[in-house]
């Protein structure tokens, strides 16, 4: 029992040094995530975490850069694989871009379809007006009225203007 009570000062100091170095060896990050939950890790928080939400980070040693040319000439530090938050953000961006492209393509197809229908209607109207057959319209009372030569010429001119946009 005496043996445990009287430890030599060297052993005590060595044990204290081991405990101190073990504490320094484990870099701990503490931050509050987007859901408000406190996170503990030995890896840095995601890049999307604002600086004011990082509660604890290990001290970093910064090496002084001698001049701007050396800084530009130095190779960039190797980047590891993207973090989960970065991959999720990239995925969401790609999905949003894809949805936008599909929406534009759908709108363009619909516009082209409507233009084709409009052009076909204009061609049919022009063919009917140029055929020489008498064309009748209905008036407000539901009675048929025939087009005069002036009205026929006006409608033919309008059909030609519409067909100019179809070519």
Report which secondary-structure segment, H or E, holds 156: helix 149-164
Is the whole model's pTM more than 0.85, yes or no? no
SS3 55: strand
pLDDT digits (tens, 9 = 90+) for 116-148: 998 999 899 889 888 888 888 888 898 888 888
Q: Give tens-digit pLDDT for 65-112.
A: 445 555 556 566 566 777 888 899 999 999 999 999 999 999 999 999
Q: Does the pLDDT value for residue 24 go beyond 60?
A: no
Buried b (16+ CB within 10 A) or exposed e, 12-38: eeeeeeeeeeeeeeeeebebbeeeeee
Among 41, 21, 17, CA closest to 29: 41
State residue 54 phi and psi, 5-degree precision.
-85, 115
């Amino acid at each position: 029992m005496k043996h445990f009570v009287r430890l030599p000062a060297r052993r005590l100091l060595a044990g204290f040094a081991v405990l101190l170095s073990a504490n320094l060896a484990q870099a701990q990050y503490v931050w509050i995530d987007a859901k408000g939950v406190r996170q503990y890790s030995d890896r840095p928080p995601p890049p999307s975490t604002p600086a004011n939400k990082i509660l604890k980070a290990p001290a970093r040693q910064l090496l002084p850069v001698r001049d701007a040319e050396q800084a530009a000439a130095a190779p960039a530090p190797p980047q590891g694989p993207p973090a989960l938050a970065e991959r999720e953000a990239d995925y969401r961006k790609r999905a949003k871009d894809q949805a936008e492209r599909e929406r534009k393509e759908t709108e363009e197809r619909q516009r082209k379809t409507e233009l084709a229908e409009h052009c076909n209607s204009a061609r049919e109207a022009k063919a009917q007006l140029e055929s020489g057959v008498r064309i009748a319209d209905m008036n407000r009372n539901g009675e048929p009225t025939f087009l005069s030569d002036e009205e026929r010429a006006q409608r033919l001119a309008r059909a030609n203007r519409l067909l100019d946009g179809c070519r």
